[in-house]
Amino acid sequence: MIEDIVSISTLMICTFLSTTVVGIFMLQVWLTDRRQTAAGYWCLSMWVGSLCTLLFTLRPLGIPVVTIGLGNALAALGYALMWAGFRAFDRRPIHLLVVLAGPLLWSAAYFGLRPVAEDVNNRIILTSLIISGYSIWIGLDIWRGRLGERLPTRSIAAIFFMTHGVIYFLRVPMAVVSPAPMENGTAYSAWFALFSLELFAHTILAAVAMLVLIKERSEARYRKASRTDSLTGMANRGSFLDDMRTHLAAGNEGTLMIFDLDHFKSINDTHGHLAGDAVLIRFSARVSSWLEEGMLFCRFGGEEFALFAPRHDIDRAEVFAELLRREVAAMSVPTEGHDIGISVSIGLADVATFGTDFDRLHSAADRALYAAKESGRNRVLRATPSAGLTDVAGRMRMPAPASAAIAG
């Protein structure tokens, strides 16, 4: 018989040891970074689970008020805290009433209703309803979290918790159709042993899922930080170049725009670097609010920004750039009682004219930008092939360096 092979007490001891170890790891995670609120809840969940399984192990010794009454209340509380941890993980509100509902429902039924206190199958039905309810709710919360944060393990964890909830609920019809007898203070039947084995496996896998989700979020935040400008929150130069090369390698059409804030050094010198930072932040936010789907925007360095508009030919891009220029010119940045007016010069170069080599594209847009600044600033200019040829011709007309003449 399966119930003779699968020892409930042995499973409880193994569960106790595993939850204790995971609780230690969760405690370390939380102590290392107190912002990991979810790890704090999960740590409490594991410690409560450890105490719960320890009490279950002691059932053959008697004292049902403690080993059964308190033990099952702690089991419900452990799942409630696990639910709270997943809510905290996704920054959802945690309701104290929901956390306490399971333990209080169990306690009220066990201490107030004799059929529950005296019949193991009634207790199985009640605990199954409570734990399956928390498990399915956890799974649904994890699944909804995919919309805001796509961690690789989310889908697996969501399905895993919902499946566990459904499996655990199946104990209800089994307790009705084939009631389990009592032996050594606990239910003793083949189906109860199998469900206990599933619960043990679930406890291990749930702990692994929690640790993996924490790890994946940390890695995602690190990747995002490595691709983001710390001041403005925009993409940084490195991530922009990576994305640009991907677009250009695919042969996508589009136009590159290079922005340079006019007289930015004067702003820093007159109003201070904090005011300069405020200007950069406000400028980034204003441009970002006008971005269309698929556009790439970054802080290229200092007061220089870059924007790539895919599927925009030079005419369409020039209209869009002029719109941005007017929006920026209408801005004022308040700082220490002063309103700082700003403007921007923009140089454009399109893929259709200058090709898919980024360096060539950037060089053309950069030349147009400096031409805009030299002709009065606060304007948009597009690069033309003739401008590049004029530069080359100008360099050819320059007198040879003295060293070259001597060498000749």
Domain limits, the chain = 2-224, 237-407
- CA 365 – CA 345 distance, rounded (Å): 11
Q: Which of 8-17, 262-271, 367-376 has the lowest mean pLDDT?
A: 8-17
How much is the pLDDT for 158?
Answer: 94
- CA 199 – CA 101 distance, rounded (Å): 21
How much is the pLDDT for 8?
Answer: 66
Structure tokens given for 209 = 């899922």
Tell me, what DSSP letter sits at residue 282? H
Which helix (DSSP H) or strand (DSSP E) does residue 274 occupy?
helix 273-288
Q: Is the pLDDT of residue 1 over 70?
A: no
Residue 185 · residue 62 · CB < 8 Å? yes
How much is the pLDDT for 13?
Answer: 79
Percent of the chain residues topping a pLDDT of 90: 57
Q: Where are the extended beta strands (E) located within 278-376?
A: 296-301, 304-310, 332-335, 338-341, 344-350
β-pairing, 182-183 with 304-310?
unpaired
Q: Which of 120-124, 192-196, 206-210, 377-381 has the lowest mean pLDDT?
A: 192-196
Q: Is the pLDDT of residue 305 over 60?
A: yes
How much is the pLDDT for 400?
Answer: 39
How much is the pLDDT for 169?
Answer: 96
pLDDT, the chain, mean: 86
Cα dihedral 316, 320, 325, 331, rounded to 10, equals: 170
How much is the pLDDT for 384?
Answer: 87
399 — pLDDT class (breaks 50, 70, 90): very low
The third-level CATH classification (topology) of the domain covering 237-407 is Alpha-Beta Plaits (3.30.70)
How much is the pLDDT for 184?
Answer: 65
How much is the pLDDT for 393?
Answer: 34
Catalytic residue among 303, 304, 322, 327: 303
- CA 160 – CA 136 distance, rounded (Å): 9
Q: Which of 5-14, 118-127, 278-287 has the lowest mean pLDDT?
A: 5-14
Q: Catalytic annotation on 253?
A: no
Mean pLDDT of 69-81: 94
How much is the pLDDT for 2?
Answer: 52
Q: Which residues contact 19 (CB under 8 A, 6 or more apart)?
A: 46, 47, 49, 50, 53, 203, 207
Higher pLDDT, 165 or 14: 165
How much is the pLDDT for 5?
Answer: 59
Mean pLDDT of 379-385: 92
269 — pLDDT class (breaks 50, 70, 90): confident
Mean pLDDT of 153-177: 94
Percent of the chain residues topping a pLDDT of 70: 91
How much is the pLDDT for 264?
Answer: 93
Q: Is the pLDDT of residue 239 over 50?
A: yes
Residue-wise pLDDT for 117-164, tens only, equals: 889 899 999 999 999 999 999 999 999 998 888 889 999 999 999 999
Look up tokens 């220089």; give the residue. 304
Higher pLDDT, 63 or 315: 315
| H helix count then E strand count, the chain | 19, 9
407 — pLDDT class (breaks 50, 70, 90): very low
How much is the pLDDT for 70?
Answer: 93
182 — pLDDT class (breaks 50, 70, 90): confident
Q: Is the pLDDT of residue 337 over 80?
A: no
